[in-house]
Amino acid sequence: MTDIKSITTQNMTISALQDAYRSGELNVASFLAAKLQQAKDDQNNVWLATVSDQQLTEMLAALSEKSIEDLPLYGVPFAIKDNIDLNILPTTAGCEAYRYQPEQSAQVVQLLMAAGAIPLGKTNLDQFATGLVGVRSPWGGVKNSFNPEYISGGSSSGSAVAVANGNVSFSLGTDTAGSGRVPAALNNIVGLKATKGLLSCTGVVPACKSLDCVTFFANTVDELNELLTIAAKQDMNDCYSRLNLGADDVYQPESGLRSLKIGVPEQEQLAFFGDESAQALFANSVEQLKQAGAEVVTINFQPFLDAAKLLYEGPWVAERYAAIEEFFVNDSKQCLPVIETIIGGATSHSAVSAFKAMYKLQAFKVKCDAILETLDCVVTPTTGTTYTIADVEADPIQLNSNLGYYTNFMNLLDYAAIAVPAGFLASGLPYGITLFGPAFSDRLLLSAGAKIQQLNNFTLGATEQALNDVSDKASDEQIDIAVCGAHLTGFPLNHQLTERGGYLVKSCNTSADYRFYALAGGPPFRPGLIRVAEDGAAIEVEVWRIPVSTVGSFLQGIGQPLGLGKVELDDSSWVTSFICEGYAIDSATDITHFGGWRAYFASKTTLNV
């Protein structure tokens, strides 16, 4: 029998949900009715329209005539970005004046519903799918699932947050410049931008028709793989549709990263826009790939970056104009000002400039393809950083451009990509990485992404639900350890963590209950963290995860007056950490006012480490 607790705590992965249906733990009708009500009650600007109670009843009646054993998505709730047609609800593409009632659903929606999935409604987006921020909507910006003051990412903002918040099991988005990857990274879920044409765009309001891709958001990579299998069907009504190649059908998460040759951009070609915690997390992700058996090689990333500039600086913006030309010419003021500015700029481009840009793109593609031919895939940050909603509203064009630094080239060059969670920033917001490869490398990318997700074993989205497919580095066989000094990323003893298979989980602060000291002796120079009853402060730390089997050898390397104990973090959780014997402060220097070892270290430029 479905109850309130099962509704709010239910594992929303497809396999777990169907197991609950089979066992009788959940009743399909009452559970989906509760999920629909959850969508109706949303306060995060996620939903633009939901199905009616009557429409849900009708879909459930049709479902009841089928068997759960025959339908891989039986009773699985999903969300649809509101530039993708669902025949029982209107499509707006994020613009009220553009609203129309489709006669039939998009092909990808039809395929998912034929497999048993139940749509709950249409989700918010950056207007006409133009933006990577998630705030360019007349209905209000979609709030990040972790912190409502931050952006959710766009343009598929509502679709990503609907999954991250546990309202649906998966969702449909679209991706022209990164809209199927950026929101995944900013909400701690996975996103697949499959090879262009694998998922039909029939029934999708175009952004750039020659580049557009329908995308999936889900909690796990296994689910992305299942959804791709169901929905990747050739569509003769979509002139860009392509039949999947047989070589792209092998999904092997168990081998995942072993023996893969993975490219990483040169250090000076990486951009983090001042976000040191993002830089540290990406460095940790690269190290994790190495530890998992991948060969990581540095590549020249400049041709990819040059190609990316063509998307908005070149004539491809004219495709956005072509998609809504009649509507735009009749009254461009119906668009948000920022959208009017972007799309209106298309009229300055000529056919001559379009051909010149195509020649440039082809030249870049030759260079980029040659680089990819030597690799299995490339890893980059999904975004270099994230921003508050206020930041983006103050500088909408430049910050949106920053978010597309690693994404804008992908469809121009005809590549496939998967976005996977990779930790948490100092702000507490999720951070992600992207793996990309040539067209029809989808299964290889999914296999590698699944292994990365297993290794990290983060919680799913913004819920407290742990990943089901627990690997040999699962949480019950690992321990999180907070470090605050010489073991921090980039410092002399960090290797003691990485050589034990450790990886960075997040950068954060302690609670405001500690004093911080520079201990006598060295090198290596070390700090001491001591809890106090009053006059305490928050101190910067990194939380690392290492296998339990390596803790003994790690402890042997810790000298007096330090040891391992428990420290409270700023989210009120407690974690194993370096702590210091009280006697040591007699010969130590109080450096609490620096707020952390990095700031103190930076002030001591003559320190020899």
Whichever domain contains 68, its CATH number is 3.90.1300.10
Within-domain flag for 252 = yes
493: Cβ contacts below 8 Å, ≥ 6 apart: 486, 487, 524
How many structural domains does the chain have?
2
Of the residues 152, 155, 159, 200, which is catalytic? 155
Confidence at residue 343, expressed as pLDDT on a 0 to 100 scale: 87
Last residue of a domain, one of 456, 486, 501: 456
Q: Which of 152, 156, 171, 179 is catalytic?
A: 179
Q: What is the model's pLDDT at position 10?
A: 85
Tell me: do 267 and 395 sit in the same domain: yes
Contact 473, 455 (CB under 8 A): yes
In contact, 83 and 320? CB cutoff 8 Å:
no
Q: Residue 217 falls within a domain, yes or no? A: yes
- Which residue in the list 81, 122, 451, 473 is annotated as catalytic? 81
**Mean pLDDT, residues 127-153:** 97
Whether residue 491 sits in one domain with residue 432? no
Mean pLDDT of 377-402: 97
For residues 29 and 156, membership in a common domain is answered with yes
In angstroms, the CA 513 to CA 52 distance is: 51
Q: Is 81 known to be catalytic?
A: yes
Q: What is the three-state SS of 202-268? A: CCECCCCCCCCEEEEEECCHHHHHHHHHHHCCCCCCCCCCCCCCHHHHCCCCCCCCCCCEEEEECHH
Whether 482 has a pLDDT exceeding 80, the answer reads: yes
CA distance 126 to 156: 7
Q: Of the residues 424, 456, 488, which one is the last residue of a structural domain?
A: 456
Helix, coil or strand: residue 415: strand
The whole domain housing 412 covers: 4-456
Both 22 and 110 in a single domain?
yes
CA distances to 78, 164, 373, 411 from 51, rounded to whole Å, are 12, 20, 47, 32
Residue 607 pLDDT: 43
The answer to whether position 111 is within a domain reads: yes
- Whether residue 175 is contained in a domain is answered as yes
Higher pLDDT, 82 or 465: 82
Q: According to the model, what pLDDT value does residue 471 have?
A: 37
Q: Is 155 labeled as catalytic in the residue annotation?
A: yes
- Between 8 and 324, the more confident residue is 324
Any domain includes 483? yes
Average pLDDT over residues 471-482: 61
Task: Note the pLDDT of residue 245.
Answer: 81
Asked if the structure places residue 468 within a domain, the reply is no
- Asked if pLDDT for residue 546 goes beyond 70, the answer is yes
For residue 429, count other CB atoms closer than 10 A to its CB. Answer: 25
Q: 489 and 442, same structural domain?
A: no
**179 among known catalytic residues:** yes
Beta bridge partners of 350: none
Q: What is the CATH number of the domain that holds 524?
A: 3.10.490.10
The answer on pLDDT for 109 being more than 80 is yes
pLDDT digits (tens, 9 = 90+) for 448-457: 999 999 988 8
Whether cis (ω within 30° of 0) applies to the bond prior to 524 is yes
Query: pLDDT confidence of 605, banded at 50, 70, 90?
Result: low
* Closest by CA position to 496, among listed 539, 563, 556: 556
Kindly tell me if the per-residue pLDDT of 357 is higher than 50.
Answer: yes
Q: Which structure tokens are listed for 168?
A: 């649906």
Which of 45-49, 458-462, 478-482: highest mean pLDDT? 45-49
Task: List the single range of 82-91, 216-225, 375-384, 479-488 with lowest mean pLDDT.
Answer: 479-488
Give the global pTM: 0.80
